[in-house]
Amino acid sequence: MAAIWYRVKRGARGLGLAAILVVAGGSAAFLAARSPQNAGSRASQQSDTDSADKIRRAGSDEIIVPAAVAQKMGLQVIAVAERVRPLQISPLQGVLAVDSEHLSRVRSRFTGEVVSIGPEQPANGSAGLLVPAPRVGDAIRKGDLLAVVLSKDLGEKKSELVDLLSKLRTDEAILLRLRDGQADGSIPARSVWDAERTVEADRVAVARAERTLRAWRLTDDEIAEVRKEASRIAMPDAKPDARRVDMNRWARVEIRAPANGVILEKNIAIGDIVDTSADLFKIGDLSRLVVWAHLYEEDLPLVQALPRPIRWTITLPANPGLALPGFLDQISPVIDPNQHTALVTGRVENPNGQLKVGQFVTAAIETTAPTGEVEVPIDAVVEDGSQSIVFIQANSIDRYVRTQVQVTRRFRDTVCIRTSDRLKVGDRIIAKGALLLRDAADALASPRP
């Protein structure tokens, strides 16, 4: 019995020792796992694993987006290209008008009475058929007779010249006789000198009267006719009836068309007393018309920057299929405070007369692609009212730099940005998801230096 008890006791001692060793080993392993060095190493490994799959900031304006995260966010990257399509300007609304540079105001050179309107000769040589008087809308040619006015002033000026010519002729005859008397000694030299001075004054007066008639646009033929009339009246054998002047011819003032065109206004009738300030007719050349249009204030800088000449295309609401080219000539320096538009004028050719004065038109300005600009989708630019930013892809595929840019103009789906040393043609930017990335970047704390 003693031997058996000894063996049992010895076995129990062995089991207890084994249990103690097992417990000690487990405790050592637990303590080793809870030691600071091992805990930090494991946390570092776990942090590295988590950071590789999350967005993080690498600087104040640089953010790192892993490829998996970028795919989940739906980020799309495009290459920035130079703007190649022309700018679009809102169509201008306007109206057609007569070109003031080709508008003639026909007036009488002298005050008088209107005695006839239009040509006085029969049409086609027919004695019974007269050419009708010109009317508004009739096409006329330069030099056509429009009206005849009898002017007392013109008759007096012509008569004044006749008197001066007659006096000159008489004084020249006296001078010849005095010179003959001076030759035989019967006339003193002083009398001859006085006669020469009188003839010289007469010639000056005749020249002055002729210049006055020329200033009133009398032709050389008309002045020659006055001289002929003076000679005819001065003939000693002229009959009294021959010395009477035909007042219808002597005081006749012909109103003729100064240029080719169309009669736009007619303001006279037979029997009217007209003066030199009244517009008897208005004649306009309608082969080229002026366009008056209104340009919106926000489009003004763009149009002013276009190279000259500025081309535009004129269309008519009344004739949608008609499109005519033209040029914009001038931009008014005054902005309408009510409509906030500037008046612009230009010209459009009208060789066939299909355009009418007063018609409403639409002018579309043709522009070229601006230099120094790029055009990007509207979702690529994030704006907060104080600045505009885009995210440019850095050298690394998962790194993006937040960059402030200058927007030049905005359209419905795109935005134009001025190129700079920060944004150039060929740079890759986020075209979709930029706003989501901005919000994510703002939510992250900046990395410690």
**Which CATH number is 426's domain given?**
2.40.420.20
Please give the residue range of the domain that contains residue 137. 108-150+255-278
Give CA–CA dist 160/143, Å, rounded: 28
Per-residue pLDDT reduced to its tens digit, 195-211: 999 999 999 999 998 89
- 270 plus 392 within the same structural domain: no
Residues 199 and 343 in one domain: no
Tell the burial category of 241 from Cβ atoms under 10 Å away from its Cβ (0-12, 13-18, 19+): exposed
Whole-model pTM? 0.55
- Within-domain flag for 3: no
Let me know if residue 10 belongs to a domain. Answer: no
Is 209 domain-assigned? Answer: yes
Query: Taking residues 131-155, what's their average pLDDT?
Result: 87
Note whether residue 399 is domain-resident.
yes
Residue 8 is predicted with a pLDDT of: 34
Interval 23-44: pLDDT, tens: 333 333 333 334 444 444 444 4
**DSSP type of residue 125:** G
Residue pointed to by tokens 């006789």: 177
Instruction: Answer yes or no: is 18 within a domain.
Output: no
Question: How far is Cα 64 from Cα 57, in angstroms, rounded to an integer?
Answer: 6
Asked whether residue 43 is domain-assigned, the answer is no
CB atoms within 10 A of CB 434: 23
Pull the structure tokens for residue 285: 């050349």
Assess whether 360 and 380 both reside in one domain.
Answer: no
412 and 271 assigned to the same domain: no
Do both 411 and 273 map to the same domain?
Answer: no
Pairing of β 273-274 and β 281-284: unpaired
Please give the tally of structural domains in the chain. 4
Q: How confident is the model at residue 114 (pLDDT cuts 50, 70, 90)?
A: very high
Q: Are residues 318 and 347 in the same domain?
A: yes
- The CATH number of the domain holding residue 270 is 2.40.50.100
What is the percentage of the chain residues whose pLDDT exceeds 90? 16
What is the domain-level CATH number for residue 315?
Answer: 2.40.30.170
Burial of 421 (0-12, 13-18, 19+ CB in 10 A): exposed
Least confident range of 104-113, 330-339, 404-413: 404-413
pLDDT, tens digit, for every residue of 53-100? 788 888 788 888 888 888 888 888 888 888 776 666 778 899 999 988
